[in-house]
Amino acid sequence: MKVKFHIEKEDTKTKARLGSLETNHGTVETPMFMPVGTRAAIKGLTPDQVKECGSGIVLANTYHLWLRPGEDIVDKCGGLHQFMNYEGPILTDSGGYQVFSLAKKKEKDITEEGVHFKSHIDGQELMLTPEKSIEIQNKLDSDIAMSFDECPPASATHEYLKNSLERTLRWAERGKKAHKNENQSLFGIVQGGPYEDLRRYSAEETVKLGFDGFAIGGVANDDESKEDMYHAIDYSIPYLPKDKVRYLMGVGEPMDILEGVERGVDIFDCVLPTRIARHGQAFTKHGKINFNNAKYKEDLGPVEEGCDCYCCKNFQRAYIRHLITVGESLGGTLLSIHNIRFLIREVEEIRKAIKEDRFIEYKEDFIKHYQQKGE
């Protein structure tokens, strides 16, 4: 079954919308945040722990699973759902971002056929094409597959980005033709950097190809400003179908989720909640806090007052700091649970606010508290 997206309510003051996305493995509400399980695992967490955080869709990565253990092994194990024992929906990224971060950025590395690069594991010469990316994702058997696209840096010139997105469109068409898994949905990706004319062109041409959903890509690069990210959304959204889900790729800062929802984005993903957790950092309604800070050594409170996650209901800050400072992996696990739950709780509150037609008020209140402090 292909995904089916339904709009339940639209905010009267912004482009925010409340919706539901029906998949082969359950229906999820939007706006929503997707935890990232790059190698078929949310780092440090069991599937049950992820579900207890309120997760809907989780993300896995084509490139990493292609190299290890290989798509044939995942297929033999019954597909990703059985392989990682996750009962909810799964989305697979195409591997494009990882490939382009590994390619040498020389002209010969990116050709019309695909991308030449070396494995980050053993240096083996590899090539990934649109057809190969789709073939891998078909075997992984995720609910949603992503088109293979080029993800150029935000600093690229207008001319380069124009040529790049033209090639991405040709790759998208090739990937769509190669897609053989009838139970798997395929999403197209809009590129174009920070340029309004390129974003519009990319969106209009990608829509013409007829995908099951649409993503806004190229917005989570290290060299991109927040303003460029927001412009990319603003320049893309008006040209995407209202009745199809919209996915902002690689974005998971609490403030960015608010800005994305206000502009009409439905789903988000990011490795941030688990990555900062492993470094001892936690989201709170007053900003990030760092448990490497000595002031938490004798703090008897939870990570965040009022949070309903397993970590906050059972452990004190002093214990979390102890785990982090002595290098116990449990510390990263507990903070990962909290951080994922924090972002999922945020989108739950956003959905409630849209339903009650008070999204702007919620956003203003969130910002007022979130910017009070932070470390």
pLDDT at 96 over 70: yes
Residue 55 or residue 101, greater confidence: 55
Q: Is 72 a catalytic residue?
A: no
- Predicted confidence (pLDDT) at residue 372 exceeds the cutoff of 80: no
Query: Can you give the pLDDT at residue 101?
Result: 72
Band of residue 107 on the pLDDT scale cut at 50, 70, 90: low
Q: What is the pLDDT at residue 60? A: 97
Query: What's the pLDDT score for residue 106?
Result: 53
State the pLDDT at residue 109: 87
Among the ranges given (7-11, 216-220, 268-272, 294-298), the one the predictor scored with the smallest mean pLDDT:
216-220
Query: Which residue type sits at 234?
Result: D
Comparing 374 with 31, the larger pLDDT belongs to 31
pLDDT at residue 154, as a whole number: 78
pLDDT surpassing 90 at residue 108 = no
* Least confident segment among 10-24, 73-87, 111-125, 205-219: 111-125
Q: How many CB atoms lie within 10 A of CB 330?
A: 13
Pick the catalytic residue: 143, 149, 256, 269?
A: 269
Predicted confidence (pLDDT) per residue in 274-315, tens digit = 999 999 999 999 999 999 999 999 999 999 999 999 999 999
Give the three-class secondary structure for 330: helix
CA–CA distance, 223 with 245 (Å, rounded to integer): 27
Taking the C-alpha atoms of residue 301 and residue 324, their distance in angstroms, rounded to an integer, is: 16
Which residues, in sequence order, are CB contacts of 300 under 8 Å at separation 6+? 316, 317, 318
Residues 162-212: tens digit of each pLDDT: 999 999 999 999 999 999 999 999 999 999 999 999 999 999 999 999 999
Q: Which fold has domain 4-269?
A: TIM Barrel (3.20.20)
The mean pLDDT value of the chain amounts to 95
| Model confidence at 112: pLDDT above 70 | yes
| Type of residue at 105 | K
pLDDT at 41 over 70: yes
DSSP-based three-state secondary structure for 289: strand
- What pLDDT, on the 0 to 100 scale, is given for residue 236? 98
Torsion sign (Cα): 71, 75, 79, 84:
negative
Of 258 and 374, the structure prediction assigns the larger pLDDT to 258
- Residues 325-347 have pLDDT tens digits of 999 999 999 999 999 999 999 99
The mean per-residue pLDDT over the stretch 116-131 comes to 90
| The pLDDT of residue 373 is above 80 | no
Q: What is the pLDDT of residue 104?
A: 59
Model's pTM, two decimal places? 0.96
The reply to whether 269 belongs to the active site is: yes
Q: What ranges in the chain are assigned the alpha helix state H?
A: 47-52, 62-67, 71-76, 80-83, 96-102, 130-140, 158-178, 196-208, 226-236, 254-262, 272-278, 310-314, 317-326, 329-355, 359-370
The CATH 3.20.20.105 portion of the chain extends over 4-269
Question: What is the separation of C-alpha 136 from the centre of its chain, rounded to a whole number of angstroms?
Answer: 19
Pick the catalytic residue: 11, 93, 149, 256? 93
The span from the CA of 174 to the CA of 167, in Å, is 11
User: Which of 270, 344, 281 is CA-nearest to residue 309?
Assistant: 344
What pLDDT shows up at residue 283?
Answer: 97
pLDDT value of position 338: 98
